[in-house]
């Protein structure tokens, strides 16, 4: 029977996301690209590998840009090893220049199996807006940003005074759940906690410069 052997994900984020998070926190050690943003790509990858048990994380980080400013982390790269030898590789950076066209999130995923491969391009490079001067209305987070990948803001886009996109769909699904009891595909609290702890294991491994066993039973030293 075909089986997954490798999942790889590359997530790029505009630096504005990191700057906003670091400016608002009293403890930069508690946040990181993996914990704040990498969890989303990680959750997707672990969904592809559902049923497999992660046993170890190897990771390293770099802090050349955000480190001097906020004692922050620019990017984290790491590998999760599963009990059957399957590998999950992730690279997450939220230190891309302010002029990077992605409003927030762009991710590429590859799923390799014994009998095939599936690739996902969620970088939003298919609809591109470029202007010659800053816009006075609409989405305009920084005056230097004159090019945008439309649709790269995760909650969706505002049109005709309403939000359209994933956040709208999630809100409707939640409303249907509480009003009619219909099931939804949302993650459970246990799944959310598991993803967070794996994300923290990436950061812990990078700080220790050593492999970290999973599950990570305590947040002690995980940041």
- Whether the ω angle into residue 215 lies within 30 degrees of 0, i.e. cis, is yes
Q: What is the pLDDT of residues 91-136, one digit of tens each?
A: 999 999 998 998 888 999 999 999 999 999 999 999 888 888 876 5
* Domain presence at residue 219: no
Q: Measuring CA to CA, how many Å separate 59 from each of 33, 189, 203, 212?
A: 13, 25, 7, 9
Within a domain: residue 143? no
Q: Are residues 31 and 46 in the same domain?
A: yes
Q: Once rounded to an integer, what is the mean pLDDT over residues 158-187?
A: 84
The model's confidence at residue 137, banded by pLDDT at 50, 70 and 90, is low
Beta bridge partners of 89: 8, 79
- Contact indicator for 200, 222 with CB cutoff of 8 Å: yes
Query: Regarding beta strands 117-122 and 212-213, do their DSSP bridges make them parallel or antiparallel, or are they unpaired?
Result: unpaired
**Cα–Cα distance between 118 and 55 in angstroms, integer?**
24
Domain contains 132: no
Q: Are residues 195 and 182 in the same domain?
A: no
The label of the residue with tokens 């702890």 reads 197
Q: What is the pLDDT of residue 58?
A: 98
Share of the chain above pLDDT 90, in %: 61
Answer yes or no: is 36 within a domain.
yes
Strand, helix or coil for residue 129: strand
- On whether both 19 and 102 belong to a single domain, the answer is yes
Query: Tokens 């759940």, residue?
Result: 177
In this prediction the pTM is 0.88
Establish if 106 belongs to a structural domain. yes
Instruction: Select the more confidently predicted residue: 127 or 159.
Output: 127
- In terms of average pLDDT, the best of 42-51, 165-174, 182-191 is 42-51
Q: Give the integer Cα–Cα distance in Å for 4 and 49.
A: 7
Half-sphere exposure of 174 (CA within 13 A, CB side): 9
Q: Which of the 8 DSSP states describes residue 104?
A: S
Segment 161-166 mean pLDDT: 81
> Minimal CA–CA distance to 212: which of 105, 86, 78?
78
Please report, for the domain that includes residue 85, its CATH number: 3.30.360.10
Q: Angle of helix 189-208 relative to helix 39-48, nearest 10 degrees?
A: 110
Task: Clarify whether residues 195 and 179 are in a common domain.
Answer: no
Inter-residue contact 25 to 172 (CB < 8 Å): no
- Give CA separation, 88 vs 46, 52, 58, in Å: 8, 11, 10
As a whole number of angstroms, the distance between CA 140 and CA 171 comes to: 25
State the Cα angle at 76 between 70 and 81, rounded to 5°. 150
Strand pairing report for 87-96 and 4-14: parallel
pLDDT for residue 1: 53
Structural domain for 96, as ranges = 4-124+188-213
């Amino acid at each position: 029977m075909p089986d997954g052997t490798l999942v790889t994900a590359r997530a790029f984020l505009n630096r504005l996301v990191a700057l906003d998070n670091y400016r608002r926190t009293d403890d930069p050690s508690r946040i990181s690209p993996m914990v704040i943003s990498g969890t989303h790509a990680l959750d997707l990858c672990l969904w592809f590998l559902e049923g497999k048990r992660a046993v170890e994380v190897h990771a390293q980080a770099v802090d050349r840009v955000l480190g001097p400013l906020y004692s922050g982390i620019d990017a984290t790269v790491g590998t999760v090893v599963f009990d059957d030898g399957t590998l999950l590789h992730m690279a997450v950076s939220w230190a891309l220049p302010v002029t990077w066209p992605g409003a927030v999130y762009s991710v590429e995923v590859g799923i390799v199996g014994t009998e095939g491969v599936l690739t996902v391009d969620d970088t939003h490079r298919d609809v591109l807006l470029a202007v010659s001067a800053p816009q006075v209305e609409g989405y305009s987070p920084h005056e230097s940003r004159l090019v945008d990948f439309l649709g790269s803001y995760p909650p969706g886009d505002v049109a005709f005074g309403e939000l359209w996109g994933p956040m709208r769909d999630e809100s409707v699904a939640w409303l249907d759940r509480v009003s009619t009891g219909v099931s939804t595909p949302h993650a459970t609290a246990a799944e959310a906690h598991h993803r967070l702890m794996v994300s923290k294991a990436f950061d812990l491994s990078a700080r220790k410069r050593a492999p970290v066993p999973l599950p990570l039973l305590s947040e002690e030293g995980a940041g």
